[in-house]
Amino acid sequence: MAEYSSRLPRDLYQAAAVQQLDRLAIDTFGIEGFSLMQRAGRACFAALLEHWPETRRLRVFAGAGNNAGDGYVIAALAAEQGLQSEIVYLSSPDRLRGDAAKACAMARKEDVQLVAFNDYYQQPEGDSPTVLVDALLGTGLDREVTGDYAAAISLINASHKPVLAVDIPSGLHANTGEPLGCAVDAGITVTFIGMKQGLLTGSAPDYIGKLFFSDLGVPSEVYLHADAAKPGVKRIDINSVRDSIKPRAPASHKGTFGHVVVVGGDRGYGGAVLMAAEAAQRSGAGLVSVITRSEHRAGMLARRPELMVAGTEDEGFDAAELLAKATVIVVGPGLGRGRWGEDLLARSLATQMAQQTPLVIDADGLNLLADRDNGQTGLKRETWILTPHPGEAARLIDTSLDMVKADRFAAIAAMQQKWGGTCLLKGSGSLIRSSFATDTTFLCDEGNAGMASGGMGDVLAGVTAALVAQGLPNDQALQCAVCVHGEAADLAAAESGQRGMLATDLLPLIRQLLNPDL
């Protein structure tokens, strides 16, 4: 059986680039196309048997082209192993060409039953445990799924049977991770040669199930070849940022690890700024101060007496004096969009401009920033970190939420180009882009749906600021923070489940992950 692995590559590609890699393997390195197709079929069949060993019947839904050819190979292998095997085809087998035609001949040789999709509804179901294989549409899909293909996808999803998707769930856009009208809901996806960037972000996790990868034995030289398409996206996780977390020098003192000043917490929103400040403390900042409404001081100090809290209504309060002492400023958690928040954002921006202080802007700080005319006021800056969710990102680049969701990669590129610095687009498969590497997007595949609760972004802002305060460059600090934050959520989910996860549940785990020497 061909090998496949749950260990995913770091390099992520657009669909066209993977097609170039495939062509390079065939034309330059002499690997026969049908051999690659057979390897793909074997990798899928091996995954299928491992995950559903009780399978007695295989039903392959096949379209046209090489994705269908992979499906025909899988059906032939199943028949060879004594399983009931049938192909429901949407494109006549007689119209297949090249390697796909060879795969069809292989299936016919094994007496695989071939059934036209329009005749499929009349077939008896039987009682044998059945696995469905989606080999309808490949990675080249770039338009909405309609007609028989949409009907087949609907039928697959309504079957409530285990589904293996070949290379990509049919209907899913390989570059964006968004369904084109509809998409197959797979239990397992086995993808080949190059990891498609869309499989790890956006809506893709709702469709791919467990994701596996096989390079089909393509030699490493293919990926290094000068004419090969280069990956534009790098996958990051907790393992890729561990080197950023260094042990502390024995003679360190609190001044060694910086002073984070967190600005926010308008009336009714004191919890947001408190979570960001406590996250900065738990992530190793030497000193943490808070600028907030005076009414929040008692509650904050009751929970976390190590904080220094400055109230904006205090006699003699001077925001500029405290901001000038900051190693890094966080502005936005609970800030609100009123005059109070506008004033504090303006003061934070002025300090950054005067002293080049790193500035993490989150939540309403981003909404207030979007309200400013950056073309007139010159707000594009290299020393800030912007951390929006999709709605905030839409406001920052003056587009709709639907447009951001439709292509997250385009959205993060547009945001970084417009605003400069280091930018994050939160969500499933968070994306990072920075002026330090403008040709590369970093994708973090840590985290889970338990993070869909209030305060998670506030905690992330605090972690990010603390890592900057301790000396990490902005881009490295954000990558590390996003991965640690997501991994902490994964550990929390493994311990107690996703539902009911709170942002503050992550703090002990974040501290643990930032002390890997323990």
Contact 163, 134 (CB under 8 A): yes
Residue 429 in marked binding region: yes
51 annotated to a ligand binding site = no
Is 450 in contact with 428 (CB distance < 8 Å)? no
71 is in an annotated binding site: no
Whether residue 149 is annotated as binding a ligand: the answer is: yes
Q: Is 319 annotated as a binding residue?
A: no
Structure tokens at 260: 């984070």
Q: Residue 54's CB: how many other CB atoms inside 10 A?
A: 9
* 161 annotated as belonging to a binding site for a ligand: no
**494 has binding-site annotation:** no
Residue 140 is assigned to a ligand binding site: yes
- Say whether 428 counts as a known binding-site residue: yes
Flag whether 348 is marked binding.
Answer: no
> Element (H or E) spanning 266, and its range?
none
Q: Which helix (H) or strand (E) segment is 476 a member of?
A: helix 474-496
User: Checking DSSP bridges between strand 188-192 and strand 163-166, what pairing results, if any?
Assistant: parallel
- Determine if residue 138 is labeled as part of a ligand binding site: yes
Closest CA to 192 of 53, 61, 21: 21
Consult the annotation and say whether 144 binds a ligand.
yes
393 is in an annotated binding site: no
**Hey, what's the torsion of the CAs at 95, 100, 104, 105, to 10 degrees?**
100
- 186 has binding-site annotation: no
Q: Is 99 annotated as contributing to ligand binding?
A: no
Flag whether 270 is marked binding.
no
- Residue 195 corresponds to which tokens in the numbers above? 């990891």
Say whether 203 counts as a known binding-site residue. no
Q: Is 504 annotated as a binding residue?
A: no
Q: Is 175 annotated as a binding residue?
A: no
**Which are the contacts of 155, defined by CB distance < 8 A and separation ≥ 6?**
none
209 is known to lie in a ligand binding site? no
What single DSSP character describes residue 47? H
Q: CA-to-CA distance for 186 and 88, rounded, in angstroms?
A: 17
What residues pair up with 131 in beta bridges, in sequence order?
Answer: 58
* Number of helical (H) and strand (E) elements in the chain, helices listed first: 21, 19
Tokens of 493: 């989910």
Residue 76, judged by CB atoms within 10 A of its CB (0-12, 13-18, 19+), counts as: buried
Q: Is 91 annotated as a binding residue?
A: no
Pairing state of beta strands 422-425 and 210-214?
unpaired
**Would you say 246 is a known binding-site residue?**
no
Q: DSSP letters of 190-204?
A: EEESSEEGGGGSTTT
Q: Which residues are annotated as a binding site?
A: 67, 134, 138-144, 149, 167, 170, 272, 334, 389, 426-430, 457-458
Q: Which residues are annotated as a binding site for AMP?
A: 426-430, 457
Q: Which residues are annotated as a binding site for (6S)-NADPHX?
A: 138-144, 149, 167, 272, 334, 389, 458
Q: Which residues are annotated as a binding site for K(+)?
A: 67, 134, 170
